[in-house]
Chain A
């Protein structure tokens, strides 16, 4: 088994970076940094277009429909067309709205998603930054999208928006506890909170991924992560902040044009980030799913890591979509019950039992 080095982050080799370093040795640091951010920005801009198409197709097939078929091959360009339409729409602001906060709010969730993206380990050396406290960074930044939604609801000067935002705030703050505790569990078993370190702790076969490495508990933790991150993403069945049949769109009621599309884009990038974190924590991140047979493992290892990362992430995203198009929406009190009476106690017990497992050494 070829162990990847855990301690060295540098030097990072890639063709574009080396070219820049070769031709402009003086400013290579700045140019490469700029290129990194630009490529990440490109990813953030293109991902929602693909994910929205995917969501619509998956939703359609779950309901025995076809989904978008007309624009491009099987409707591939549909979300591009929708995005363009949104860009050209008039940006409206309700009377009595707080102008500054109203237009600041949509930027926050999008930038939160972008900021978390900077520390996602796409591949062994394909990561913008790897702070030692990566998990804490993720938790801190994800609060920004809650803030954005609260600000949007408050600034809209609309009762539906305010109700939606308040529900959303209560929901996201509650479920963040569960999410944080599950991340704590991962940090506890890996002994590091850098995301790259967490991935590197799962080297080996599939059985070394944390979903299987911790017998049974890993699977339970993964399921709990899926539940609480779905709630954190405000996706159905926990989409009470939007609840289009009750609140006419919740916090996004008064938004139109590009400000609305910012919320919409942020929702999908956040979904990708959440799925990417699930892949990092439980499914071995960029590591190939080796099965312990030499020849097959060689072939699997030949496929670059970022392909594996995206495959796993899309798999988790498919799970989110599966949830969304199967389960009915929860009522607010059921939602709070689920967090405070079901998930939180289970989380604490899980942490305790994992501690026992670690002490006894019952880890594969």
Chain B
């Protein structure tokens, strides 16, 4: 529409490609005045504007219908709804694969974990959430004593998990984490002292 208005005022302006900054003298077409006039005739003709109008209607309707096609596909496929009816389906609700709950330590069936107490996670933590307290086993080797994790300070940034060279910790899938007492947010993650 705006182009049409420009067209009436200065038809020669439209012939130039919009990115061209060349002056008219470089373009031989504009030296011939007759060509200019016939251009104006073509651009202002009824057939030209009718064609433009119809083209606009066709492309517009096409895009509208394709949009409506997208939404109706959502409408007729209720299976794509991921909304959960939370308190009602508490029993069957499974958290997403990539959900980050609080940090948990991976234990095997004998309650063994893979943590060596190296403390890399403690250094990686930006806000002092983790304290790795080590102890010595009967052979005098340094092993993990208590792995203290303060959930109240954790931002669930995943840096401790990324930094762990042994894959001993991971982000849990638990999502009902609210408690009434702040003390309950400090966990000791390891079930056994020592390791493998």
* B75 contact set on A, CB distance < 8 A: 58, 61-62, 322
Given contacts A62-B71, A62-B75, A322-B71, contact A342 B81 (CB under 8 A): no
* Distance of B10 from chain A, by nearest CB (Å): 21
Q: Is B1's beta carbon under 8 Å from chain A?
A: yes
* B1 contact set on A, CB distance < 8 A: 337, 341
* B81 contact set on A, CB distance < 8 A: 61, 64-66
Chain A residues packing against B (C-beta within 8 Å): 58, 61-66, 69, 322-323, 325-327, 337, 341-342, 345-346
* A345 contact set on B, CB distance < 8 A: 53
Across the interface, A342 reaches (CB within 8 A) one of B53, B71, B82, namely B53
Nearest 9 A-B pairs (CB), nearest first?
A: A66-B83, A326-B71, A62-B71, A326-B67, A64-B80, A61-B75, A64-B74, A326-B68, A64-B81
Q: Which of B107-150 contact A (CB under 8 A)?
A: none
* B74 contact set on A, CB distance < 8 A: 61-64
Interface of A is mostly: helix
Q: Are A61 and B57 in contact (CB under 8 A)?
A: no
Q: Is B23's beta carbon under 8 Å from chain A?
A: no
* B64 contact set on A, CB distance < 8 A: 326-327
Q: Is B34's beta carbon under 8 Å from chain A?
A: no
Q: Which of B67-91 contact A (CB under 8 A)?
A: 67-68, 70-72, 74-75, 78, 80-83, 85
Distance between Cα atoms of A323 and B68 in the complex (Å): 7
- 6 other A-B residue contacts (CB within 8 Å) besides A61-B75, A62-B71: A58-B75, A64-B81, A66-B81, A66-B85, A322-B75, A326-B71
Given contacts A322-B68, A327-B64, A337-B1, contact A64 B56 (CB under 8 A): no
Given contacts A327-B64, A342-B56, contact A65 B83 (CB under 8 A): yes
* Distance of B97 from chain A, by nearest CB (Å): 19
Distance between Cα atoms of A341 and B152 in the complex (Å): 62
Distance between Cα atoms of A58 and B81 in the complex (Å): 13
* Distance of B73 from chain A, by nearest CB (Å): 10
* A62 contact set on B, CB distance < 8 A: 71-72, 74-75
For A67, give the chain B residue with the smallest CB separation. Answer: B83
* B82 contact set on A, CB distance < 8 A: 64
* Distance of B175 from chain A, by nearest CB (Å): 19
